[in-house]
Amino acid sequence: MSEGSRIETGTIDVWYREFTSRREGMIFAMEGGLWLHRHVWKGTPMAHLVSVDRIRLLHYGARVGLPEVRLQFKPLKDPRTGIRCDAWHWDLIGRFLPVAVPARKLIIRRGVSSLVEP
């Protein structure tokens, strides 16, 4: 099961999804989607927003106020093939960490948020 959220950035809709399976999330990111992977770092909740689509990540970052210089490059191994691919991620922490919304979609349109039942 996964959740998704969308942010409109002019002409590009930017969706991210969360997965209970790390493998499924990695495959989604390898196919150009935005995978939100939550974890805890030194006791602090955070997440990585991961994708092979750098442009989509940059649009997300611009929409939420992340400076481009914070986008990190890290090749990832595709779990289906074992082949490393260029990939990038944002570290999302503090005000940049999206609120977890279990079993619902959070849709953000031009600054207005709304919850939608699945």
For 6, 15, 26, 72, 91, the CA distances from 67, given in Å and listed in that order, are 20, 19, 24, 11, 11
pLDDT score, position 113: 47
Q: pTM of the entire structure? A: 0.75
pLDDT tier at 100, thresholds 50, 70, 90: confident
pLDDT tier at 103, thresholds 50, 70, 90: very low
Q: Note the Cα 115 to chain centre separation in Å.
A: 18
Domain ranges within the chain, ordered by starting residue:
2-116
- Residue 18 pLDDT exceeds 60: yes
- Residue 114 pLDDT exceeds 80: no
- Token readout for 11 is 């002409």
Q: What is the pLDDT of residues 20-77, one digit of tens each?
A: 899 999 999 999 999 999 999 999 999 999 999 999 999 999 989 999 999 999 999 9
pLDDT score, position 101: 67
pLDDT score, position 110: 52
